[in-house]
Structure 1
Amino acid sequence: MTSRIETGREILRSTIGDAYYQRRRDSTNSFNEPLRRLTDEYCFGEVWGDPALPPKIRSMLVVALLACLGRNNELKTHLGGAINNGCNVEELRGVLLQVAIYCGIPAGVESTRIAEEVLRERGLLDSGASGTP
């Protein structure tokens, strides 16, 4: 039987990707290890490991929450995770429009700017003008 911490690490790795996961492991030290263990076991092992919601839906929720809170470094990571978990450009745009309406235009503008950066890095954003101002 897989432990909750092992399950969490598997979910985390599949969400954030192998390269990010390896950088995270390589940068673990005596100071940050307790927090990382906590997130591995409870955030990803317990909550993300609960089958009530699929990873794609969890990713959309996390993107919305991080955008609302202005946690932009984590937002960038979880936007990539959302793509890894099957979210497409239109779904992410929809989430961020929801953020703009319910949490304010500044939160929507900043989170959209961050999403554009992630989408460009992934080759998922066209660079042409849409013809609208």
Structure 2
Amino acid sequence: MKALIQRVKQAQVAVGGQTVGQIQQGILALIGVEREDTVQDAEKILGKIARYRLFADDAGKMNLSLNDIQGQLLLVSQFTLVADTKKGNRPGFSRGATPAHGQHIFNQMVALAKQTGLHTETGQFGADMQVSLVNDGPVTFWLES
């Protein structure tokens, strides 16, 4: 499982011109599910997202986590994160999960996030989504399970 996380002042995702998820200060996490990923991978990545210290403390150092600031989380599925881009000029998706498996694991991650008490919003799995954000910093990190 792969996650591209961005510290944001605000972010939203729309489908067909309608907003389906929107947050204020927090993390926008683009999530890519691979064939072999399990719910345990989702738990591991989610834990890291919630505890990753990328928000500034009073001294201006990145010492605070999403949990510490009680920030919001926007989870957006993005299968292109698992693409193989090493060869040629066209991405390969053989490592990507099937749509059914990807949706199952992504939905489990969303459920786990909500159980932890994080204010969690999502995109729409498998949809053509338009994501907009105000990246704070910019601060962006790549996480893998």
Normalised by the length of structure 2, the TM-score is 0.31
Between structures 1 and 2, the one with greater helix share:
1
> Which one scores higher on RCO, CA 8 angstroms, separation ≥ 6?
2
**Highest CA radius of gyration, 1 or 2?**
1
TM-score, with structure 1 as normaliser: 0.34
Structure whose residues are more often strand by fraction: 2
